[in-house]
Structure 1
């Protein structure tokens, strides 16, 4: 049975620009291997990537070995350091751009069931439309497993702005400046993502949201 997110997105994104695959869960080791391959391809050392990303060398090393799950913020930092769209780290290995759009596509369609999921202790998220090169926005669907601010070791922040709408359940967004906002099904918020923030689920089951970061 399709999730609520899949049902909603099927109306908005009815099709796929890549072969239909069974993406499953993008495990830590799989994503780590892709990070390492991207680094090696660019002939960068761990120290260079750490310096470019602002992350500790140990964090980059553990991520490559699949010993830790990276937050969205840290994936963005690594993506910038490696000059690669973070989405590519989550695309199935056998997914390829269609030949007729590979050079400079006008539009790329995606299907929620065809994208891999990445799981951290707090969230499980899927990044959409990775086939579009040089994206200015990062659309994703996430399940919010966290229940309180104490479930996070640090707040999440990344340059830009963020839009979120709740597909099911209820969430609270807590900001490091003390502000909070609660959202129910089909309620939305738009905020400065440079302010540290975390999402927690207030519903019995993990809340499901669609978010767009830029």
Structure 2
């Protein structure tokens, strides 16, 4: 993939299939480990279905991998706007771009664009990061962390443990743009 000319979305389905096969697992075995439907996993591997954040985390846990393994990290610390790696960590109406990743995986920074009504999934999820930090650049975001609701607007920030069950939604009529910082990087 040529990252210098355009931000190309990573093929997480193909990467999941490669990791599953390298571990000698069948789709049926992965379905049992993850608690997800075999046909859904097949569609996910073929890029014919999108995973919620919670579903993607279940698959990664079942494979014994961190979600960050599924995405290429930039080779340098400088990431120009048009060179940010597009990724999809799950959710509906969401486009993630990996802006930076520490050389040793100690931090991951994402710019996420969320369409009106876009969300991280109906089911709260836990992310394998000790600390999540989010700041809203544009729009509105409602975040639920361990049964607490936070309404964020431009310039607002929230820090919490990624290990606490959480999810989020753009409640507004316009797109929302946020920056996520995950430490250590998953």
- Interval of TM-score (by shorter of Structure 1 and Structure 2): 0.7 to 0.9
Q: What TM-score does the superposition give when structure 1 sets the normalisation length?
A: 0.65
The corresponding residue for 2:169 is 200
The corresponding residue for 1:157 is 126
Separation in structure 1 between the aligned mates of residue 78 and residue 68 of structure 2, nearest angstrom = 14
Cα pair distance change 1:84/1:197, threshold 3 Å: closer
Contact conserved, 1:122 with 1:152, CA < 8 A, in 2?
A: no
- Is it true that 1:142 corresponds to 2:112 in the alignment? yes
C-alpha deviation, 1:25, in angstroms: 3.8
Separation in structure 1 between the aligned mates of residue 22 and residue 152 of structure 2, nearest angstrom = 43
Contact conserved, 2:125 with 2:167, CA < 8 A, in 1?
A: yes
Q: Give the paired residue count.
A: 178
C-alpha deviation, 1:96, in angstroms: 8.2
Separation in structure 2 between the aligned mates of residue 198 and residue 169 of structure 1, nearest angstrom = 17
Contact conserved, 1:46 with 1:57, CA < 8 A, in 2?
A: no
The corresponding residue for 2:143 is 173
C-alpha deviation, 1:166, in angstroms: 0.8
Contact conserved, 2:116 with 2:172, CA < 8 A, in 1?
A: no
C-alpha deviation, 1:139, in angstroms: 2.4
Unaligned residue ranges in structure 1 (runs of 5+): 1-17, 98-106
Cα pair distance change 1:148/1:127, threshold 3 Å: closer
Deviates more, 1:163-172 or 1:188-197: 188-197
C-alpha deviation, 1:57, in angstroms: 4.8
The corresponding residue for 2:7 is 23
The corresponding residue for 1:40 is 21
Unaligned residue ranges in structure 2 (runs of 5+): none
Secondary structure class of the residue paired with 1:194: coil
Q: What TM-score does the superposition give when structure 2 sets the normalisation length?
A: 0.73
Counterparts in 2 of 1:71-150, with a 5 A limit? 71-82=52-63, 84-91=65-72, 97=75, 108-114=77-83, 115-118=85-88, 120-129=91-100, 132=103, 135-145=105-115, 147=117
Cα pair distance change 1:79/1:137, threshold 3 Å: farther
Separation in structure 1 between the aligned mates of residue 106 and residue 30 of structure 2, nearest angstrom = 22
Larger Rg: 1
C-alpha deviation, 1:127, in angstroms: 3.0
The RMSD of aligned alpha carbons is 3.4
C-alpha deviation, 1:82, in angstroms: 3.9
Structure with greater strand percent: 2
Separation in structure 2 between the aligned mates of residue 156 and residue 168 of structure 1, nearest angstrom = 24
Cα pair distance change 1:204/1:153, threshold 3 Å: closer
Per-residue deviation, residues 83-134 of structure 1 (Å, max 9, x unmatched) = 555334343xxx985xxxxxxxxx744334221243742422123446845x
Contact conserved, 1:171 with 1:202, CA < 8 A, in 2?
A: yes
